[in-house]
Structure 1
């Protein structure tokens, strides 16, 4: 067997073992708790991000109307 093919097979085996361990962890009660915390953090970040985008949109619209008033 060539060197590259054996490295690929070793990596495939190691990746499969790591994947199985991670899957086993995520199905455990501790893993579910971690998953809920991660989901909560992502929702908090995306919620804050959308609020920030809305605030920036409002400020840009206000600035645009002020500029339009000065031009007119």
Structure 2
């Protein structure tokens, strides 16, 4: 079966299938679609979503999660 996704959704789905369990982001174009998709899907894999107050906070959260051994990403 073929599936057609936009680039942002393909990135999000690839991250989830690779084991991403933590996602922090600040809503900003062009990554807003990816953030909204992760908000809906990450709970399906037992993950955590955080909307950060700015881009710096988002990357710092992702760094902290990765240091703790969690597969994490941002799209800000």
Q: TM-score, normalised by structure 2?
A: 0.23
Greater percentage in helix? 1
Find the structure with the greater CA-based Rg. 1
Q: Which has the higher contact order (CA 8 A, sep 6+)?
A: 2
Q: Which has the higher strand share?
A: 2
Give the TM-score of the pair, scaled to structure 1: 0.24
